[in-house]
Amino acid sequence: MLDHDLHCHSNISDGTLTPAELVARAAERGVKVLALTDHDDMDGLAEARAAAAQHGITFINGVEISVSWRSHTVHIVGLNIDPGYLPLVEGLRNVRSGRGARAKKMADELAKAGIGGTLQGAYRYAENPNMIGRAHFARYLVEAGHCKDVKSVFNRYLATGKPGYVPHQWAALADTISWIRGSGGVAVLAHPGRYMTGRKSMGKQTMRELLAEFAGLGGQAIEVVSGSHTPEQYAEFARYAEEFELLCSCGSDFHGPDESWRDMGRLPDFPLDCRPVWEAWENNA
Ligand code: AMP
Ligand code: MN
Ligand code: MN
Ligand code: MN
């Protein structure tokens, strides 16, 4: 079992726990090395780091950046970043800036589909209004009785091509990797398996092109053991890691009790031959 969890969310983005609550849960579940990786925002890191020190957990500064690559949205996790690095701070501010207008459009689309009041409803769930996103809409739609849980809301209304889905331009892959690397961090392709399932998913050839471009731009790792991967996908992405000479990362992608693929920590071991991503910072220490 791995005692590292290098991907999770607090209510600074679309998780439901505060950074301190999240760290307490990780400690309780045996996590020894934790990275908080909120979407497009680093405001939870100081609180999480302080809480981690109290629980005797090693804390890694992280972030998960939303990227538009070709016609796909992909997520790049930055690990061991410096949250004071200005190009990263300013880059993330830009990435966040479109969320308000996007939320308004989503609410308009949902209204056309016969569901009103979602903008105000979603904002009630967004602790950090700058980070309003689909998960906040989903929670409100469950509350209002339109679906039984968050997953069904995505399937019916919010996934690509559904009535409340609004396409959006996120950061460029090259910029994202340069902000992360420039700050001293490691760039990790998050949950690659998710880009290969569902509507508008990429095929194997496109995944190879993405990995080649990612590695060519300085990307160093991919998530192999992810809360949103199946055991078959652990093996599949371990092979991609080997082919593209990438390090392997692991994380639950926990968002909150009751609505995540997986709870924090207790992740299964890497397939053999995986070189763990922490080699990157342990060797530089
Ligand atoms: P956004 O950045 O606003 O587009 O929201 C993306 C977030 O929505 C992801 O980070 C997940 O937390 C959540 N999400 C995306 N797809 C699903 C899904 N099928 N089921 C549950 N949550 C999802
Ligand atoms: Mn999320
Ligand atoms: Mn993600
Ligand atoms: Mn995530």
How far does the centroid of ligand 1 lie from the alpha carbon of residue 56, in Å?
31
Q: Closest ligand 1 atom, CA of 168?
A: 4
Q: What whole-number distance in Å separates Cα of residue 187 and Cα of residue 181?
A: 7
From 64, 66, 109, 134, give the residue whose CB has the most ligand 1 atoms within 8 Å, as the site to mutate. Answer: 134
Which SS3 state, helix, strand or coil, does residue 35 take? Answer: strand
Q: Decide: 186 and 180 in contact? Cβ < 8 Å.
A: yes
Q: Is the CB of 183 under 6 A from ligand 1?
A: no
**pLDDT on residue 186:** 98
How far does the centroid of ligand 2 lie from the alpha carbon of residue 214, in Å?
22
**pLDDT on residue 258:** 83
Q: Which ligand is nearest to the CA of 63?
A: 4
Helix H or strand E encompassing 79: strand 72-79
The set of long-range contacts for 234-237, using a CB threshold of 8 Å and a minimum separation of 24, is 234/268, 234/270, 234/271, 235/271, 236/193, 237/192, 237/193
Q: Closest ligand 1 atom, CA of 255?
A: 12
Q: Is the CB of 168 under 6 A from ligand 1?
A: no
How far does the centroid of ligand 3 lie from the alpha carbon of residue 191, in Å?
7
Q: Closest ligand 1 atom, CA of 133?
A: 3
Q: Return the number of other C-beta atoms located less than 10 Å from residue 85's C-beta.
A: 17
CB within 8 A of 185, min separation 6: which ones?
Answer: 61, 78, 79, 80, 81, 82
From 92, 118, 154, 262, give the residue whose CB has the most ligand 1 atoms within 8 Å, as the site to mutate. Answer: 154
Q: Which ligand is nearest to the CA of 158?
A: 1
Q: Is the CB of 139 under 6 A from ligand 1?
A: no
How far does the centroid of ligand 4 lie from the alpha carbon of residue 99, in Å?
17
Q: Is the CB of 267 under 6 A from ligand 1?
A: no
Q: Closest ligand 1 atom, CA of 132?
A: 3
The mean pLDDT value for 144-156 works out to 96
- Nearest alpha-carbon partner for 81 in 186, 172, 176, 173: 186
* pLDDT band, very low/low/confident/very high, at 285 (cuts 50, 70, 90): low
DSSP assignment letter at 261: S
pTM: 0.98
The tens digit of pLDDT for each residue in 82-141 reads: 999 999 999 999 999 999 999 999 999 999 999 999 999 999 999 999 999 999 999 999
- Nearest alpha-carbon partner for 121 in 153, 98, 99, 144: 144
Percent of the chain surpassing pLDDT 70? 100
Q: Closest ligand 1 atom, CA of 134?
A: 3
The tens digit of pLDDT for each residue in 51-99 reads: 999 999 999 999 999 999 999 999 999 999 999 999 999 999 999 999 9
**pLDDT on residue 260:** 74
How far does the centroid of ligand 4 lie from the alpha carbon of residue 86, in Å?
23
Which residue is closest in CA terms to ligand 1's atom 11? 135
